[in-house]
Amino acid sequence: MKIGFIGLGNMGAPMAKNLVAAGHEVTGFDVQAPVPEGTERAASAAEAATGADVVITMLPNGEILRKVAAEVIPAMTKGAVFCDCSTVDVESARAVADQAAKAGVLAVDAPVSGGVGGAAAGTLTFMAGGSDDAFAIVKLLFDIMGQKAVHCGASGAGQAAKICNNMILGVTMIATCEAFALADKLGLDRQKMFDVVSTSSGYSWTMNAYCPAPGVGPKSPSDNEYRPGFASELMLKDLRLSQLAAQAVDADTPMGQLAASLYETFVEKEDGKGMDFSAMLPRFEKRKRA
Ligand code: NAD
């Protein structure tokens, strides 16, 4: 396939590389980052999109996505697919899909889970929103860049799934970290805490697969001085998106709201910026009851 790839940062570059390695013809554009080897460099986003069967975007946020989409969609061939893999607000995903529909272009919102490691290894999970026809086309590419792709529903459903998942993740990480800090103060050995919880009803991905306590459980960013991994500021971004969505549909999400506010404090007022999101554990270790 002929693919236009816009946004070749930490995630986009390895994803594009995997498409090139699988034999696809990729033309890339980024305002800053260099294009990866094997990718042709376009002079603009519109140029990267011209004549492409699929245009993939991997951009920082919804505002930039809307700007890029406004430039790119008019340059696309009718029947081609605009596939956004960034994590953005549901409203932006739906606005871009509407714009695409008006131009006779198919649209898929397909945020990913799996981080930079998953992008490099081609083991991302894609959660997609859009029509069956559009999904069928991009699924061929998701199978190269990832290990799983779930068609979640109509436009916006991919972003909805992503922010709900990450709201659970943020809340669960905080719960796991505060429980470890409490266990410390109760004199409980961390390894014993892990042995019990990881096989009891408190188990979770954050405890079992990404344990925030160094030296306990499988290797995770806590064993690497909390270098990300998944940075706290990216978790804050996703929690804010979950709260934007909750406001828009009048959903009561008290735990998500509290998680967003704790990560906001951690990132903006404390030393959380640039640290993995599991660094909430050393934060709680230092604190007394509020
Ligand atoms: P990044 O900042 O490394 O990459 C974004 C790229 O977009 C940059 O290279 C930037 O120069 C480029 N860009 C910005 N404006 C542009 C424009 N107008 N035209 C062309 N290029 C433009 O970010 P990333 O870590 O690659 O993340 C990308 C998206 O993936 C984000 O939405 C993020 O939330 C999501 N995501 C990231 C991770 C992760 O672990 N990094 C995991 C899952 C999802």
- pTM of the model as a whole: 0.94
What share of the chain has pLDDT > 70, as a percent?
Answer: 100
| Domain finish residue from 154, 170, 199 | 154
Quick one: which atom of ligand 1 is closest to the CA of 116? Answer: 40
Q: Which positions are annotated as active-site residues?
A: 162
Is residue 17 domain-shared with residue 134, that is, in the same domain?
Answer: yes
Quick one: which atom of ligand 1 is closest to the CA of 228? Answer: 40
In this predicted model, what pLDDT tens digit does every residue of 119-178 receive, in sequence order?
A: 999 999 999 999 999 999 999 999 999 999 999 999 999 999 999 999 999 999 999 999
Q: Cα separation of 69 and 83, whole Å? A: 10
Q: Is the confidence at residue 71, as pLDDT, over 90?
A: yes
Sign of torsion, CA 206 210 216 221? Answer: negative
The domain spanning residue 35 has which CATH number? Answer: 3.40.50.720
- Residue 11 CA to ligand 1 center (angstroms) comes to 7
Q: Is the confidence at residue 290, as pLDDT, over 90?
A: no
Q: Is the confidence at residue 26, as pLDDT, over 90?
A: yes
Beta strand 106-109 with 124-130 is antiparallel
pLDDT at 171: 98
Is residue 121 domain-shared with residue 221, that is, in the same domain?
Answer: no
Is residue 145 domain-shared with residue 174, that is, in the same domain?
Answer: no
274 φψ region: left (φ > 0), alpha (ψ -120 to 50), beta (else): left
Is residue 64 domain-shared with residue 150, that is, in the same domain?
Answer: yes
Determine the structural domain holding residue 198 and report its residue range: 160-286
Q: Cα separation of 65 and 7, whole Å? A: 10
pLDDT at 215: 98
In this predicted model, what pLDDT tens digit does every residue of 197-228 receive, in sequence order?
A: 999 999 999 999 999 999 999 999 999 999 99
The domain spanning residue 279 has which CATH number? Answer: 1.10.1040.10
Is residue 142 domain-shared with residue 176, that is, in the same domain?
Answer: no
In this predicted model, what pLDDT tens digit does every residue of 240-274 receive, in sequence order?
A: 999 999 999 999 999 999 999 999 999 999 999 99
Is residue 65 domain-shared with residue 135, that is, in the same domain?
Answer: yes
Is residue 124 domain-shared with residue 172, that is, in the same domain?
Answer: no
Nearest C-alpha neighbor of 262 from the set 235, 228, 223, 225 = 235
Quick one: which atom of ligand 1 is closest to the CA of 11? Answer: 26
> From the CB of 207, is ligand 1 less than 6 Å away?
no
| Domain finish residue from 139, 154, 169 | 154
- Residue 172 CA to ligand 1 center (angstroms) comes to 25
Best of 44, 47, 56, 59 for a ligand 1 pocket test (most atoms within 8 Å of beta carbon): 59
Is residue 142 domain-shared with residue 269, that is, in the same domain?
Answer: no
Q: Is the confidence at residue 110, as pLDDT, over 90?
A: yes
Is residue 141 domain-shared with residue 12, that is, in the same domain?
Answer: yes
Our count of domains for the chain comes to: 2
pLDDT mean over 183-200: 98
Q: How confident is the model at residue 112 (pLDDT cuts 50, 70, 90)?
A: very high
Is residue 270 domain-shared with residue 179, that is, in the same domain?
Answer: yes
User: What average pLDDT does the structure give for the chain?
Assistant: 97
> From the CB of 277, is ligand 1 less than 6 Å away?
no
Is residue 111 domain-shared with residue 216, that is, in the same domain?
Answer: no
